[in-house]
Structure formats: C-alpha cells, structure tokens
A and B are shown apart, each in its own frame.
Chain A
Amino acid sequence: MSDTRTRPAWLSRLASWDAAVIVITVLVLVIASGAVENFGSSRNFTFLLLDLLPIALIALPMTFVIVTGEIDLSVASTLGLTSAVMGDLWNRGLPIETIIPLCLVLGAVLGALNGFFVTVLKLPSLAVTIGTLALYRGLAFVVLGDSAVADFPRDYTSWVTGTIGGGAIPNLLIPLVVLALVFGLVLHATPIGRSVFAAGASEQAARFAGIRVARLKFWLYVVSGLVAGLAGVLWTLRYSSARADNGLGMELAVVAAVLLGGVSIFGGKGTLPGVLAGVVLLATLQNALRLQDVSNEALNVVTGVLLIISVLLPNIVIRFRAALRRRATT
C-alpha cells in the first residue's frame, strides 16, 4: 500500500493484511490455549500440526500459482490419485522405495499436464483445473475403486506419525519447515520470485521485461503437482490407508488458507509468511472449535465466512482510506 507519506512505515506495515493475519493467528492461539480445554495439551498440539501439514505443504506452491494470477484446483485430486496409485503399486508387490519416487514423478506429470493446457494451449486455468479436478479424481477411483490399501511398512508409517524424540513436535514438521524456508526464500529473495510477482502484476509488462512468463507458469504447475504428490504419499502413510477419496475437497481449504493469508486472487500480491499464518489460523480455529464439540460440518460455515471476509476486508480498507484521503485533500 502506497499510503506511506503521512504515517510512519512501521504503522502501514502493521496495517497490512498479512501482518494482521499473523497477529490474529497469535491471538487465537493464545486465547484458545487459555479458554479451550485440552487445546494446549502436547497431544493436541501434535495432531494440530499433523492436520495442517498437507494444507500447508500444498499452500506453498499454490501461493506462487495464485500470485501469478492463475489457480490450481486439481491439487486435492492429484493427492488422491497419487494415493490410489501408491496403494495399487503396493498391492502389486513393488518395494516402497520404488513406489515413493514413482508417486512423486506421477504428481509432477499431473502438474505438467495442467501446465501444458494453461501455458501451451493458453486455456483459462480455472476451467482447466476444474476439468483435471474431475479427471484425476475419476482416475483415482478407476485405479483403486472404493477399496483401501492399508498394510504399509511400519518403519515408514511410524516415522510419519512419530514425533521428534517422542515430544510434541511431529517428525514431519522438519520437511515442512525446510520446504517453507526454500519456497519463502525463492519467492521473496530471488529473481524467480520477482518474476512471479511481475507476471502476476502485469503479464504483458513482465514479458516485455524479458520474463518468460509461460515457461515460469508451466514449472509452477509442475511443482504444484509434485508437492501435491508428496502430500499424497505422506497422507497415505500417516493414515496407513491408500484410498481414492483421500483429500477430497481439500483444494477449497488450500485456496481459502492462501487467500486468508493475504494473497490477492487477481495476482501480483501476497507473502509466504502471511499464507502460513492463514494456514495456521484456519487449522487452529477448526481444531479449537472441534474440541468444543462443534461438528465438522458446522465448521464449514467458519471456513466459508472467513474466506469471504478475507477478500472483502482489504477492499473495504482500501476504499475507506481512499475516502479519508479524498476528504483530506478537499
């Protein structure tokens, strides 16, 4: 926001949406640990982190994709198809050490197909990924039907559900933190990140500036698919259950978290810390309400309303400021 002439920089920084989300998230965490029974227990903390992991993971590349002004609604279906294929290969007796890399490759290929449609054929990403959302989920059911595969090797499943040194922090937080750091650095401190923002702010201007926007977007879709595939593998191991409907509907939660974190759906704006705060905020609210015996489905109201507020509020703030400025100048 450009309104820095009349007030100190730190104040407008504090007033920015993603900073506000971080503050709100911390507040919710504090209030919930005080007011909600069992919320602060280390067991619940572990579950909270494990539950938000797949959403946080997929939100990382989704942030890039939405900042370039595109969208990927097929991520949860990619997760499901990866999980189904993992189960099928395991049924066929392949060793897990071969299956996991194959599943990651599968995720990347599914992402590349999205990228191909969006960047080579120049089709609208919303329509493309609604199509692949149905296609990938359908293929997942074709591969595995409505059966489940469960007997994955204990070494793997127990590591995925385990915690560091038997404490409260799940082992899986390590790869998440590493990936979050990598994605954050790339987005905010490298030429690639600047290209992503430039492409989202004005694709034409970015092209004139020598950024290969199509190639950039293609690779973003590949990474998005790859990470969704990784989330599929981890999901399968965590619940020790490969099912075609794993992660059903999760694309909405991911998009909600990213937008809640202050990324503009129009592209060109957003920060990764904001997104991670959005993910934590969403997961914390749901966890705390669930502990209060609010039904899972009623929680959807919270998610939906939060999503709408998160896109409405910045607009209202901008208009409010504009009105103030107009009054100041007249």
Chain B
Amino acid sequence: MNATKVVAPKTSPGRTAAGGRFSLGGLFRAREAGIVLALVVLVAFTATQNARFLSPQSIRDILLNTAILAVLAVGQATVMITRNIDLSVGSVLGLSAFATGSLLQANQGLPVIVALIAGVAIGAACGALNGVVVRLGKVPALVVTLGTLYAFRGAAYFWAGGEQINADELPGHFLRFGNSSILGIPWLVLIAAIVLVVAGVVLRNYRAGRELYAMGSSPQAAELAGIKVGRNTIAAFLVSGALAGVAGVLFAARFGTIDAAAGNGYELNVVAAAVVGGVAVFGGSGTVWGAGLGALLLTVIGSSLAVLDINQFWQQAIVGALILLAIGADRLVAVRVAKSLKKRDSHV
C-alpha cells in the first residue's frame, strides 16, 4: 500500500452520525468505554467468586484465546467498514491451518516465519477471490462470502479427506511458538497486538484507511470523490483473508491438532466481536480497537461462565443477546443524533 500520511481528521474515526465526542487522544469513544466498563465489572465479579480467575495461567489462556479471535476481528472490521461483510473467515482459517499443518508435517525443519507466510498467502488468495467476485460481479458480499464459506470449507475437506494432523507430527519449535512467550508476552498475543496497532494506525491516520470509511459512509460519494472504490474493496477483502490466514497459523500452533473442521462456525463469533465492538454492519463506522475489545469481551465471557460454573451453553445465547444489544444501542444513538440535528436546523 503506497499510503500517504494525511493529517488526522478532527472528527472521530468513521463516526458518520456526527455523534463523535472525541476524547483522550481519540483512543476510545463511548462504545469502547462501555466495553471496558463491562469487562471490568465482569472480571471483578468473577474474581470475587473465584480468585483463581485472576491467576497468571488463567489470564494467559484468555489472552491466547483472544489473540486468534482478535486477528480475525480486525480483518472483519476492515471489510465491514467498507459496507461489506466476510462470512468466509472461519473457512479460510480452516484451510490455512490445515495447509500450514501439512506443510510443517512434511518439512519438519521449516522455520515458523515460512509457515506464517504460507498461511498469509493462502488467506490472501482466498480474500482476493472474494474481493474480485464482489467487485467485478457487482454481487453483495453477503452472498459471495456465504458461497465461499461453503466452497473453502469444502476444499479443506477435499484436501484433508478426513485426515487429522496431530501435535506429535508437528515440529516442536512450531508448537513452542504457539505456547511460549517473549519477555513474558506470548507470541500469539504479540502478533495480535502488532496486527491491531498497524491496522488501527493505517485506518485512522492514512489515506488508504480513511478512504475505506468514506466508501462505507456513501459509496456513490466516494466514487465521485475519485476514490478507487473497486481497488479498495478488493484490498479490504484481501486484508481480511490474509488475517484469517494468519489466524489459521496461530490456531495450528496453539492447538496442534488440526482437521478440516478447524474454525468451523467462527464467522459468527468474529462478526459478533466486530459488531459488539461498535463496527456498524452497514459500513462507515467503527474501529479495530473496538473489534479487538469485542473479541476480548466475548472470550472473557466464555471464561467467566466456566469459572462461575454456569452452563457453557449460555455463552452462545449471550453472544446473540450482545449483538442485538449492540446494534440496538447504535440505533438509539443514531436516532438521538438525528433529532438533535433536526432541532439545530430548525433554528436556522
């Protein structure tokens, strides 16, 4: 990306509804503050019930699980900001996890970075395919990625043919990468953090990122403004696919056991993380920070339920309720802003 650095706009990133109160150097807006608050309350309550919840091991597990979801959520946020959606990420994760798994199985000496690159390449190819079909076919992303959700998953099954790669068939250094740390920070968390920061900064401060928000807010206006909508759409899907590829490699390293069903149904959690984190389904609004926080919240809820000894099955129901709550809250804000704008207009 030959991104030119532009001056950071005064308004908050992608706040189309003009409700952008921008505080604290612009890192958090109201939604993100709300998630942080919910996280604090949830963690505090769970910790009072069971002190082990705050043990280093427990925190490590939560962070490791968040890392994979957060990487996917960053990609999803990038696509959703352009008013598209990528439902195929779970399948791309599965394809990339199995591909890197069998690559390492066959070449035990391969360094981790090569596996990562292979995963990214496979993911990027899938993402590019999504983007090209969406753009050139002028077909809604929902339908295209619904189709590729099937197709990529089917391809993974076709390839794996019911086989499973076990941890003892993978090189030790790769598995250590999945569970070891550098300076106390697990590699997976570090990679997720790098992805978050890079994507966050590009979306917020660089022309390439701002154009995505413009496209999501109004595709026609963006086109008229000379934004290369087609190229950017394909790029957004490419980013989402590549990150799903990264997530596949992280998945393989963390769990060691990989079959063609890896990441089955992840797309729901990923969309949920993004939506709960304040990324609007219909584009133009949201941040990758929010999506990352959404991923953290979903993971913490899962861990809390386990610690509190509540039926794990509540987790999915809570995810659903959170999505509804989140889009309801967005609607509320939009209505309020529209009202206040109308009032202001009437004085003119």
Contact A300 B153 (CB under 8 A): yes
In chain B, positions 287-337 with a C-beta closer than 8 Å to chain A are: 311, 313-324, 327-328, 331
Whether A307 pairs with B324 at a CB distance below 8 angstroms is no
Cβ–Cβ < 8 Å partners of A137 in chain B: 316-317, 320
| B327 engages A127 (CB within 8 Å) | yes
* A189 proximal to B (CB < 8 A): no
Quick check: is B140 within 8 A (CB to CB) of the other chain?
A: yes
Asked if A131 CB lies within 8 Å of chain B CBs, one says yes
Contact A135 B142 (CB under 8 A): no
Chain B binding surface SS class: helix
Q: Which one of A121, A131, A256, A265 has the greatest number of beta carbons of chain B within 10 Å?
A: A131
Q: Which of A4-12, A16-24, A291-299 contacts B (4 or more CB under 8 A)?
A: A291-299
The stretch that binds A, out of B50-58, B144-152, B218-226, is B144-152
State whether A135 and B320 are in contact (beta carbons under 8 Å apart), knowing that A126-B281, A265-B140, A295-B157 are contacts in the complex.
yes
Give 1 or 0 for each of A245-289: 1 = CB within 8 Å of chain B CB.
000010010011001000001100000000000000000000000
A26 interface residue per 8 A CB criterion:
no
Among A138-146, A161-169, A226-234, which stretch is in contact with chain B?
A: A138-146
| With A138-B314, A141-B313, A301-B158 as contacts: A131 and B144 at CB distance below 8 Å | no
User: At the interface, yes or no: B155 with Cβ under 8 Å from chain A?
Assistant: yes
Alpha-carbon distance A265/B147, docked complex (angstroms): 13
In the complex, which residue of chain A has the Cβ closest to the Cβ of B314?
Answer: A142
Mask of B126-147 contacts with A, CB within 8 angstroms, 1/0: 0000000100011110111011
Q: Does A186 contact B (CB under 8 A)?
A: no
Q: Enumerate 12 A-B pairs (CB-CB under 8 Å) in ascending A order.
A: A127-B275, A132-B320, A135-B319, A137-B316, A138-B316, A255-B143, A297-B154, A300-B157, A304-B150, A304-B154, A311-B140, A311-B143
Residues of A within 8 A of B (CB): 71, 117, 121-124, 126-128, 130-139, 141-142, 145, 244, 249, 252, 255-256, 259, 265-266, 295, 297-308, 311-312, 315-316
Interface contacts beyond A297-B260, A311-B147: sample of 8 additional A-B pairs, CB < 8 Å, sorted by A: A131-B324, A139-B317, A145-B313, A244-B313, A300-B153, A301-B150, A308-B137, A308-B147
